[in-house]
Amino acid sequence: MMPSSSSTSRSSLTGWLYVSPLVGVLVPFFLAPILVVLAASFFGSDGFGGLTPGFTLANYVEVLHSALTLKLYLATIKFTVLTWIFTLLIGFFVAYFLVFHVRNQLLAIGLFLLCTVPFWTSNIIRMISWIPLLGKEGLINAALISTGVIRQPLEVLLFSDLAVVIAYVHQLTIFMIVPIFNAMARIDKRLIEAAIDAGASRFDILRLIVVPMAKSGIALGSIFVVSIVMGDFFVVKVMSGGGSASVVSAFYEDVGVLQYPTAAASAVLLTLVLVAIVSLILRSVDIRREITR
């Protein structure tokens, strides 16, 4: 049935009517703030936290010329890549275990929920909960000393880059598990049986069926993990003990000393990098079709 042009425009109107409250929130609280930050990045500063309207590229020149910027981006990319690798590996195999190795489906859903519960609790609390374990007098050091593996407590466990990555992986693996689990659960088990009958090994099945069919889940999870790590500042600030910084934690310091224009310029650059990465991932998967399927 071909819809006439008038019914198309009417159904468009109904659609817009339904999403208008959503748009009514996103325009003032997402679009406008982004545009404000974009505008502020071109403004001058009076040095006391005030913005002088105008158009200058001085903020960008300052950000791009600073040797610190490169260091911050390298640190951010290091944390992002490490977190991405660990969350992907753990998330993939946890989802794989739940979908293909747990025989009772109800048990699989129960174990899946067990993984998701911490997602609904406070991130900050989950982060600081590593202190009693990783600290200089923490459980891990105590255990290592009492078993005689080390004599002096390891200092690198807490307030280090290692602690930052541990906290990220702890918080974000769930963002990999959920979409990958959903993608894997949709794989028709008969397909795998057919592959076994045709003589495929377990590894072949993983490589040729499961990974390609879970790709959309991997892409979705990667978007979450990458955007959260790149936009984070409090894990870096607390878990590195001030020893490391990322782009956004430097942004936070800038805002703290009211350096709005340079902070805004750095935020715009970060957003551009993020948009580039996310759209690169989105090119490999039609996210909307995947979600609504």
Partner 1 sequence: MSAVVVDNPEQGISARKAIAPSRGKRPWTFYVLASLFTAYVLALYGPMFCIYILSFQDIRGGLVFPMKGRSLHWFIDLFTQVRTGDVKGSFDRSIKLAVIVTIITVVISFLAGLGFRRRFKGDSIVFYMMIGSLVAPGLVLGLGTGLLFQALGLNPAWYSSALGAQLSWTLPFGVLVMFAVMSRFNNAWDEAARDLGASRWQAIRLVMIPVLAPGLVAVALFGFTLSYDEFARTLQTAGSLNTLPLEIWSMTLNVTSPSLYALGTVTTIVSFVVIGVSLGSIVLIQKKRGAQKIKG
Interactions with partner 1, residue window 90-129 (CB under 8 A):
90, 93-94, 96-103, 105, 109, 111, 113-115, 117-118, 120-126, 128-129
Q: Does 269 bind partner 1 (CB under 8 A)?
A: no
Q: Does 144 bind partner 1 (CB under 8 A)?
A: no
Q: Does 231 bind partner 1 (CB under 8 A)?
A: yes
Specify whether the CB–CB gap between 40 and 260 falls below 8 A: yes
Using CB under 8 A, pick the residue from 2, 190, 276, 280 that binds partner 1.
190
Using CB under 8 A, pick the residue from 144, 211, 233, 258 that binds partner 1.
233
Binding mask 39-78 for partner 1 (x = CB under 8 A): -x----------x---------------------------
- What is the total residue count of the chain? 293
The residue (of 46 and 188) whose beta carbon lies closer to partner 1 is 188
Specify whether the CB–CB gap between 79 and 169 falls below 8 A: no
Q: How far is the CB of 182 from partner 1 (least distance, A)?
A: 8
Residues from 157 through 176 that contact partner 1 (CB under 8 A): 170, 173
Q: How far is the CB of 249 from partner 1 (least distance, A)?
A: 9
Q: How far is the CB of 62 from partner 1 (least distance, A)?
A: 18
Q: How far is the CB of 102 from partner 1 (least distance, A)?
A: 7
Q: CA dist 173 to 8, 153, 209, Å?
A: 43, 28, 23
* CA distance linking residue 245 with residue 41, whole number of Å: 21
**Binding segment (CB under 8 A) for partner 1, from list 66-74, 78-86, 148-156, 219-227:** 219-227
Q: CA dist 30 to 22, 211, 252, 277, Å?
A: 11, 35, 19, 19
The residue (of 10 and 71) whose beta carbon lies closer to partner 1 is 10
**Lookup: tokens for 169:** 């992986």
Unique residue bearing structure tokens 């397909």: 191
Bridge partners (DSSP) of residue 32 are none
Backbone angles phi, psi at 82, to 5 degrees: -60, -45
The residue (of 65 and 288) whose beta carbon lies closer to partner 1 is 288
**Lookup: tokens for 230:** 């790149």
* CA distance linking residue 76 with residue 230, whole number of Å: 6
Specify whether the CB–CB gap between 211 and 155 falls below 8 A: no
Q: Does 131 bind partner 1 (CB under 8 A)?
A: yes
